[in-house]
Chains A and B, each alone.
Chain A
Amino acid sequence: MDPECSQLLPALCAVLADPRQPMADDTCLEKLLDWFKTITEAGSSLLLLQENPCLVELLCHMLKPQDLSSRVLSFSLRLTGVFAAQEDCFQYLQQGELLPRLFGEAGPLGGAAWTAPTVRSGWIQGLRSLARHPSALHFLADCGAVDTIFSLQGDSSLFVASAAGQLLVHILGLSMQGPADGPPSLQAGDWPACAKKIVGHIEESLRSTATPQITQALNVLTTTFGHCHDPWTRVLWVRLSPLVAGLLEKDPVPAAHSLVDLLLSVARSPGLSSSSCGLWETLAQTLSRLSPTQAGPLALGILKLQDCPQALRAQAFAVLLQPLACVLKATAQAPGASGVLDGTVGDFATVDTLLPSKAACVGLLCRTLAHLELLLPLPQRPCPWPQAPLLGAAVTLLQLCQGSASPTSDTGHHLCALLLGCVRVQRAALDFLGTLSQGTGPPELVTEVFAVLLEYLRSPDSSPTVLKKAFQATFRWLLSSPKTPGCWDLDPQALLFLRELLPVLQKRLCSPCWEVRDSGLEFLTQMTGRWGGQAGFRHALLASEVPKLTEQLLRDPESYVRASAVAATGQLSSQGLCISPASPEHPGGQQKSPLSELLHILSTDSEGFPRRAAMHVFTQWLRDSHADVVGDTEEFVAGVLQVASQDLDWEVRAQGLELALVFLEQTLGQPGSPCPYAVTPPVVAPACPLAQALQPLCRVRLFEFAFRALFDCDRPVAQKSCDLLLFLRAKMASSSSPQEARSSPDVASVEAALQRWQAGDQAQPLGDLEPEVVLAVLKSMDLEGLRGALAESSDHVEKSPQSLLQDMLATVGILGENEADCY
């Protein structure tokens, strides 16, 4: 601890011990505790206490009967724990009887302060920190803490209850580590008393009829098996598994969620799953005993396991598929039409009992779809994967929600009534359908998929979120549609679909709901990015009104839509799909080019999003050597940088630097670390002298932009500019430029101007800069220092411990005098 802090500490301890001076802000106490943790981790706690006796005084002070704030009491308990984590310090505090008096019955335990959850929490956390060495175990046994922890498992505060459970796990683990003479025997009878006591308590809880107690026991075991994989855990499981299996005999199965967690935790534990301790049988039994809602997460967990018997996996998969099989069966035109799913299901009755309630039905279906979606990309997903029936189920669900399915059974009619217009199921099913696009399916089913997607895109009742998902799923299915080898265009069937889709997209782009227009534009951008170069797509798109509508949406009243329209226009223009100014439809030629449209948006739009989008498009255009840009790149870059430098939105300015960097790279060659996998070799730096190469950069006033950004009030902009200039300087160093930094009057005046800029006065422009001047200025600047300063977070000064102590004292000291002072 530095001396300044040592000096402040006594005063602070006095403040903390004084009940008349309450701490208004308990985040200070948290920070203080963090600080002490850092100190004790780095050095001796004992020494710390000896050097700062005020700390022990503070702790002793807590023992006096008085009206102390519960926060300070809780803090002190936790602080004690932090100190006592080191055994010598523990002994030191023991000598003073401080520990038993703080944590034993004589302490806050049982007193009035105990009613505050924060004190109970502090007590637990104090013990949690303290329990690090065998001496602590004796202490815990002597002061009867374990019994208190047992009772705290059922605490009214969830935080306290959960912490109590974790503390038990910690103590159990600590006691099983054993004394210095080696770990205890694996025979449960020889276990240390403390471990025996805890295990006994768990056993008793598992035998209990009260669900909360069973839940507590299961949670403790889950944490134990999740965190500790020592051999003794296997002994523990062998001993407790009959009790756990016993829970399955009860009807209904108590604490099902916790039971699932425990079983999965055991199954994942490397020491346990491979051994033959009846785990797989228990899992199989649990799957069959739990309701479909409860069994779903267990089934998913089992299927995610790396090594588990095939039969169990099959059973788990069947459980997971059960609800969808039920849907398929209820709507199947002919028996057996649900395909693979049909044979896998044994227990329709359970699912049928769930269907009468809308909430249960929707919840179960959404969870099932989410589980399957998680499972699909995993390498250990079940094989063979029932792609076709799942596709059928997703399509059927979507049809049921839309009212277009024709159920054949009463269950089907019931399902239809429950799911009609249900947005949750629609969203989940569309997501799932999108994920299924990774696989193939029978052609007639794929046709159905496109039909149902089109139905959703067309339906006036599709909510904006559903529509967005429908667009996403459509894109994914179009991506996966079969391709002719060597041809990247859409296949004929997809092109037919596209012809039906474009009128729908047209209508959606005119929707009164801005979210719909927005997602329509995003979809268009994605499609154009992927197929914009292909003849079939181009033909269909150009025959539609979509490009024209996109251009009109650049003037949409909603800024998000304008931003999406900017992105879409950028993409369309890159592919040459924008309506050309001199198209026959606009003989007057009044139509502006996309470049001038976007520049107009960049310079006049009142909202940030469209301007940011325009900058992104410009950067991309520059990168891709867009036709409109290549004509006069310098004019383009100069124009954009000039507008961007005056933008109030820092992201626009930062994006301006990105554009500057691209231009820089193109002018000077690739950056220092080209992509190692790049096929083309990096462009060789121009052979001409650096100063000459910098000419174009000077002409576009890139340096003025970069220097201005270097002193930007927004840190990310300044950092980006700093990186850019450092990159340039690195270039300078690598090139064997003969130029020497000259101390010309120009350099001096630029440096003076930059100093003024740094001080905040950016009124004066730098004027025309010569490359040599730029190089000289760059060389003389402490860019590394600047980068270091920028890398510090803005509150690094205020974060120091000294500042913390001062703040705490100041807050208390001036509390009565100057309440208006915020700091």
Chain B
Amino acid sequence: MKLYCLSGHPTLPCNVLKFKSTTIMLDCGLDMTSTLNFLPLPLVQSPRLSNLPGWSLKDGNAFLDKELKECSGHVFVDSVPEFCLPETELIDLSTVDVILISNYHCMMALPYITEHTGFTGTVYATEPTVQIGRLLMEELVNFIERVPKAQSASLWKNKDIQRLLPSPLKDAVEVSTWRRCYTMQEVNSALSKIQLVGYSQKIELFGAVQVTPLSSGYALGSSNWIIQSHYEKVSYVSGSSLLTTHPQPMDQASLKNSDVLILTGLTQIPTANPDGMVGEFCSNLALTVRNGGNVLVPCYPSGVIYDLLECLYQYIDSAGLSNIPFYFISPVANSSLEFSQIFAEWLCHNKQTKVYLPEPPFPHAELIQTNKLKHYPSLHGDFSSDFRQPCVVFTGHPSLRFGDVVHFMELWGKSSLNTVIFTEPDFSYLEALAPYQPLAMKCIYCPIDTRLNFIQVSKLLKEVQPLHVVCPEQYTQPPPAQSHRMDLMVDCQPPAMSYRRAEVLALPFKRRYEKIEIMPELADALVPMEIKPGISLATVSAVLHTKDNKHVLQPPPRPAQPTGGKKRKRASDDIPDCKVLKPLLSGSIPVEQFVQTLEKHGFSDIKVEDTAKGHIVLLQEAETLIQIEEDSTHIICDNDEMLRVRLRDLVLKFLQKF
């Protein structure tokens, strides 16, 4: 069993598991932090961005000044943003049989895999994952396609040139493999390969293994996966949460008794408690708005935004913010808000029960109804006429490199009354803000990451007790910035195995058993003999038939019947017609009793020697020795067949035959 690790990002995993002749890809995350190296794509021509000076080498060589721009001491690529794909060279991706998706954030690289690698398999995901994943991809494509950029920089990627660049460009990994965003056509084609599954549904893969999605509690439709055969069980835990937010709670019990547990997608901000952060978010929002400032919340169109809107729903009246407009701007804003209301079966119990009242499960419906929350596909159109300040704007993309957020950063960045509040933990807020410097607006970092923290992981592992834990290397040591926090790492026994990008891991786990079925007529003919209380044995002669990874013992073909005679069949005819078999022996020989028996039968001068594997009984007079080992007994005597047979019979007395 091997694990191929194609992504180095612990929360955007992409691993391939080879298990029992199947090749299973676990998640397909797309590392978008690469876009932070690029200049933002403004919706409206930005004089500031277009007038940034080109970057030149220390010696004054300015051949890169068209590709690289400098802003407040940082260098950015002036080109269409590109993404860092999962490793494609480590394993032939056309051999992947299935892809299991755990949540909508972990499927963003899907079009790259399904459309460009010769992939012919099936993708499995739950319905909300697919629908919201589609929205995220649609938004991404829309954000990038609506601001076409003539230039595509590639010179800087040359390895010899990259060495000369300042950090972080210098240290960016595998820039040659970075790719531009996929198209909507590719998205549709990729999504058409997905087969929908429900929680706890058992899916057979070629008869060899069974895969099952389990609720992971992190997002709508998010799942962990169980991959099991008859005697082995691998759990794949990715992006799980034990907090009570909107999704169905995590199913922990089904993860018990795993041989291997692959653990990914833990919280990216282990020191920030989501409850505290939500409080911070609300306080800072109110403080800004009360002072007449605007609040900008860069976010994804689904996920935490539902919880934030719910908190604000409860908070705005108490904070006297009822008159402040909330805008949600995204090409998929409407679909996102409406989809969230129809996936009742995937929601937590409280929200499910609301549906029967009947009430919309999320209170943002009421915010929309009362005109407190308004949503728009983009800045253009209705929004510009409705726009009123001070206000709160939720919009993407959290990287601040594309999407409507770029416009608001340009618009509001100059006033210290305004605040940008970062809630998505995927991007470093300082790096995200770098191309907007100098910035007067206040920046608040309230990352809300509801995924498991290390205390919860430790409890989970104690509860489910896997034999082995496998996780990204980042989880096996404290974060570099807090090296003294020994509590911020996975702590289990035996220690977790770690992996990094482009590594192949042989999992410490040997398959020892295979299930074989036995045909009923063959089973009928068995004559078991009890050799110990509770243990019976029977011999069987049969033909092993293997097809579709299933093994069946069938009766052996009968010898050809003599032609002509029409005798009645006898039952015994069904018994395999083989030559007479020697009985099988079992049991062990107690040396002391054996020696006594020999003495009783007239042998004297017996010596017993202990050897590494058993004993040697020496019959000195007869110049004979009997070697007794765990699984064999030899009688060595000089051509005295009579003696050998006598001794053999004495040995056999101690053994059982059947």
What is the interface of chain A, defined by CB distance below 8 A to chain B?
Answer: 403, 406-407, 413, 416-417, 420-421, 459-462, 506-508, 510-514, 516, 545, 548-549, 552, 555-558
Question: Contacts of B318 on A, CB cut-off 8 Å?
Answer: 512, 514, 556-558
Q: Are A555 and B320 in contact (CB under 8 A)?
A: yes
B272 part of interface (Cβ distance < 8 Å): yes
Name the CB-closest residue of A to B454: A417
Question: Contacts of B145 on A, CB cut-off 8 Å?
Answer: none
Q: Are A413 and B277 in contact (CB under 8 A)?
A: no
Per a CB cutoff under 8 Å, which of A459, A512, A557 touches B282?
A: A512
Q: Are B290 and A552 in contact (CB under 8 A)?
A: yes
B319 part of interface (Cβ distance < 8 Å): yes
Question: What is the bound-complex CA distance between A510 and B485, given in angstroms?
Answer: 32
Name the CB-closest residue of A to B484: A406
Per a CB cutoff under 8 Å, which of B271, B284, B317 touches A557?
A: B317
Most B Cβ at <10 Å: residue of A403, A461, A462, A512:
A512
Q: Are B280 and A460 in contact (CB under 8 A)?
A: yes
Question: Contacts of A413 on B, CB cut-off 8 Å?
Answer: 484, 486
How many whole Å from B452's CB to the nearest CB in chain A?
A: 16
Q: Are B484 and A461 in contact (CB under 8 A)?
A: no
Question: What is the bound-complex CA distance between A420 and B485, given in angstroms?
Answer: 10
A-B residue pairs, 5 tightest by C-beta: A460-B276, A510-B286, A461-B276, A510-B283, A460-B280
Q: Are A460 and B272 in contact (CB under 8 A)?
A: yes
Question: Contacts of B280 on A, CB cut-off 8 Å?
Answer: 460, 507
Task: Sample 17 A-B pairs with CB under 8 A, ordered by A number.
Answer: A403-B482, A406-B484, A416-B487, A417-B486, A421-B273, A460-B277, A460-B446, A461-B272, A461-B276, A510-B284, A510-B319, A512-B278, A512-B282, A512-B283, A512-B318, A514-B318, A556-B318
How many whole Å from B153's CB to the nearest CB in chain A?
A: 40
How many whole Å from A521's CB to the nearest CB in chain B?
A: 14
How many whole Å from A589's CB to the nearest CB in chain B?
A: 18
Question: Contacts of B485 on A, CB cut-off 8 Å?
Answer: 403, 416
Question: What is the bound-complex CA distance between A545 and B286, given in angstroms?
Answer: 12
B619 part of interface (Cβ distance < 8 Å): no
Name the CB-closest residue of B to A516: B279
How many whole Å from B140's CB to the nearest CB in chain A?
A: 31
Question: Contacts of A516 on B, CB cut-off 8 Å?
Answer: 279
Q: Are A513 and B276 in contact (CB under 8 A)?
A: no
Q: Are A459 and B284 in contact (CB under 8 A)?
A: no
Q: Are B283 and A511 in contact (CB under 8 A)?
A: yes
Question: Contacts of A511 on B, CB cut-off 8 Å?
Answer: 279, 282-283
Q: Are B284 and A512 in contact (CB under 8 A)?
A: no
Interface of B is mostly: helix
Question: Contacts of A556 on B, CB cut-off 8 Å?
Answer: 318
Q: Are B272 and A416 in contact (CB under 8 A)?
A: no
Q: Are A552 and B320 in contact (CB under 8 A)?
A: yes
Chain B contacts with A in 256-298, Cβ cutoff 8 A: 271-273, 276-280, 282-284, 286-287, 290-291
How many whole Å from A734's CB to the nearest CB in chain B?
A: 53
Question: Contacts of A545 on B, CB cut-off 8 Å?
Answer: 287, 290-291
Name the CB-closest residue of B to A507: B283
B339 part of interface (Cβ distance < 8 Å): no
Name the CB-closest residue of A to B485: A403
Question: Contacts of B276 on A, CB cut-off 8 Å?
Answer: 459-462
- The count of chain B contact residues (Cβ–Cβ below 8 Å) is 28
Contact flag A507-B311 (CB < 8 Å), given A460-B273, A549-B290, A556-B318 = no
Per a CB cutoff under 8 Å, which of A403, A416, A548 touches B271?
A: A403
Question: What is the bound-complex CA distance between A612 and B287, given in angstroms?
Answer: 29
For B287-322 the 0/1 string (1 means CB < 8 A from A) is 100110000000000000000000100110111100
Question: What is the bound-complex CA distance between A235 and B436, given in angstroms?
Answer: 87
Q: Are A507 and B284 in contact (CB under 8 A)?
A: yes
Interface of A is mostly: loop
How many whole Å from A585's CB to the nearest CB in chain B?
A: 10
Question: What is the bound-complex CA distance between A406 and B485, given in angstroms?
Answer: 8
Per a CB cutoff under 8 Å, which of A417, A508, A555, A558 touches B283?
A: A508
Contact flag A512-B315 (CB < 8 Å), given A407-B484, A416-B485 = yes
Name the CB-closest residue of A to B482: A403
Question: Contacts of B278 on A, CB cut-off 8 Å?
Answer: 512
Question: What is the bound-complex CA distance between A537 and B279, given in angstroms?
Answer: 28
Question: What is the bound-complex CA distance between A556 and B318, given in angstroms?
Answer: 6
Question: Contacts of A407 on B, CB cut-off 8 Å?
Answer: 484
Question: What is the bound-complex CA distance between A513 and B286, given in angstroms?
Answer: 13
For B156-177 the 0/1 string (1 means CB < 8 A from A) is 0000000000000000000000
Question: What is the bound-complex CA distance between A693 and B154, given in angstroms?
Answer: 96
Question: Contacts of B446 on A, CB cut-off 8 Å?
Answer: 460
Question: Contacts of B484 on A, CB cut-off 8 Å?
Answer: 406-407, 413, 416
Question: What is the bound-complex CA distance between A403 and B269, given in angstroms?
Answer: 14
Question: What is the bound-complex CA distance between A461 and B453, given in angstroms?
Answer: 15
Question: Contacts of A460 on B, CB cut-off 8 Å?
Answer: 272-273, 276-277, 279-280, 446
Chain B contacts with A in 204-225, Cβ cutoff 8 A: none
Question: What is the bound-complex CA distance between A682 and B169, given in angstroms?
Answer: 82
How many whole Å from A646's CB to the nearest CB in chain B?
A: 28
How many whole Å from A495's CB to the nearest CB in chain B?
A: 22
Name the CB-closest residue of B to A549: B290
For B33-53 the 0/1 string (1 means CB < 8 A from A) is 000000000000000000000
Question: Contacts of B279 on A, CB cut-off 8 Å?
Answer: 460, 511-513, 516
Question: Contacts of B487 on A, CB cut-off 8 Å?
Answer: 403, 416-417, 420
Question: Contacts of B277 on A, CB cut-off 8 Å?
Answer: 460
How many whole Å from A358's CB to the nearest CB in chain B?
A: 11
Question: What is the bound-complex CA distance between A507 and B291, given in angstroms?
Answer: 12
How many whole Å from B136's CB to the nearest CB in chain A?
A: 28
Question: What is the bound-complex CA distance between A552 and B290, given in angstroms?
Answer: 9
How many whole Å from A114's CB to the nearest CB in chain B?
A: 50
Question: What is the bound-complex CA distance between A507 and B280, given in angstroms?
Answer: 8
Question: Contacts of A420 on B, CB cut-off 8 Å?
Answer: 487
Name the CB-closest residue of A to B491: A417
How many whole Å from A593's CB to the nearest CB in chain B?
A: 20
Question: Contacts of B282 on A, CB cut-off 8 Å?
Answer: 510-512
Question: Contacts of A510 on B, CB cut-off 8 Å?
Answer: 282-284, 286-287, 290, 319
Question: What is the bound-complex CA distance between A462 and B314, given in angstroms?
Answer: 21
Known: A510-B286, A557-B317; 20 extra A-B contacts, CB below 8 A, are A403-B271, A403-B487, A416-B484, A417-B487, A459-B276, A460-B446, A510-B282, A510-B284, A510-B319, A511-B279, A511-B283, A512-B278, A512-B282, A512-B318, A512-B319, A514-B318, A549-B290, A552-B290, A555-B320, A558-B318
Question: Contacts of A459 on B, CB cut-off 8 Å?
Answer: 276
Question: What is the bound-complex CA distance between A462 and B283, given in angstroms?
Answer: 14
Name the CB-closest residue of B to A548: B290
How many whole Å from B647's CB to the nearest CB in chain A?
A: 62
Question: What is the bound-complex CA distance between A506 and B283, given in angstroms?
Answer: 9
Question: What is the bound-complex CA distance between A421 and B287, given in angstroms?
Answer: 27
Name the CB-closest residue of A to B286: A510
Q: Are A512 and B311 in contact (CB under 8 A)?
A: yes
How many whole Å from A546's CB to the nearest CB in chain B?
A: 11
Name the CB-closest residue of B to A414: B486
Name the CB-closest residue of B to A503: B287
Question: Contacts of A548 on B, CB cut-off 8 Å?
Answer: 290
How many whole Å from A813's CB to the nearest CB in chain B?
A: 53
Chain B contacts with A in 498-513, Cβ cutoff 8 A: none
Question: What is the bound-complex CA distance between A167 and B193, given in angstroms?
Answer: 86
How many whole Å from B291's CB to the nearest CB in chain A?
A: 6
Question: What is the bound-complex CA distance between A37 and B358, given in angstroms?
Answer: 67
Question: Contacts of B290 on A, CB cut-off 8 Å?
Answer: 510, 545, 548-549, 552
How many whole Å from B292's CB to the nearest CB in chain A?
A: 10
Name the CB-closest residue of A to B282: A512
Question: Contacts of B273 on A, CB cut-off 8 Å?
Answer: 421, 460-461
Question: Contacts of A416 on B, CB cut-off 8 Å?
Answer: 484-487
How many whole Å from B357's CB to the nearest CB in chain A?
A: 24
Question: What is the bound-complex CA distance between A821 and B482, given in angstroms?
Answer: 72
For B73-100 the 0/1 string (1 means CB < 8 A from A) is 0000000000000000000000000000
Question: What is the bound-complex CA distance between A549 and B284, given in angstroms?
Answer: 13
Question: Contacts of B291 on A, CB cut-off 8 Å?
Answer: 545
How many whole Å from A542's CB to the nearest CB in chain B?
A: 15
